[in-house]
Amino acid sequence: MVHGEAITEEEASAPGWIDAIRRRAKPSTTTTGKPAGARFGAQRTGAVTRVAAASRLPPLPMDHHRVIIRPGGGLDVRRCNKLKFLQPLLLAARLPPTAAEEDIFCTNGTQSIFVISTPNLQTAEAYAKVRGIVLMEREHPVSAYVAASGTTS
């Protein structure tokens, strides 16, 4: 009971009052079944799992062609704006902006790559031929290739 206005026991247990103790989560008493020395391996496994999960791409259409582009010359994928990268890429691939309308453009900062998923094989081949782009008045070499079909992971 709380000190203050006096209320009866019936009023205190009436609907609408909630015990704060009931709302708290009960501590977990389950065990993982691992020996005490496995703690460090579990942390490494967790870190590996996080990196692997961050490396995965979003689900892309199976009938699309995937082009992997790895920029060089100090270009940081995490800090690069997708649109600012795509415009010089289209210019270097000699493609009109309308050619990229159906393309899906993804970045993967963990692996330092850009991934373009396109339904058109000619567009994918044009992206794969690019060996460098000019971004922010600076030449950046890129390595690009068409990845295996969507049936592989």
30 or 139: which leads in pLDDT: 139
**Domain spans, the chain:** 71-146
Q: What is the mean pLDDT of the chain?
A: 78
**Which 3 state secondary structure label does DSSP give 3?**
coil
Q: Give the pair of three-digit tokens for residue 16.
A: 């609408």
46 or 30: which leads in pLDDT: 46
Predicted pLDDT of residue 151? 53
Predicted pLDDT of residue 135? 84
Task: Please report the DSSP string for 34-97 in residue order.
Answer: --GGGHHHHHHHHHHHHHHHHHPPPP--TTSEEEEEEE-TT--TTTS-HHHHHHHHHHHTT--G
Residue 96 has pLDDT above 60, yes or no: yes
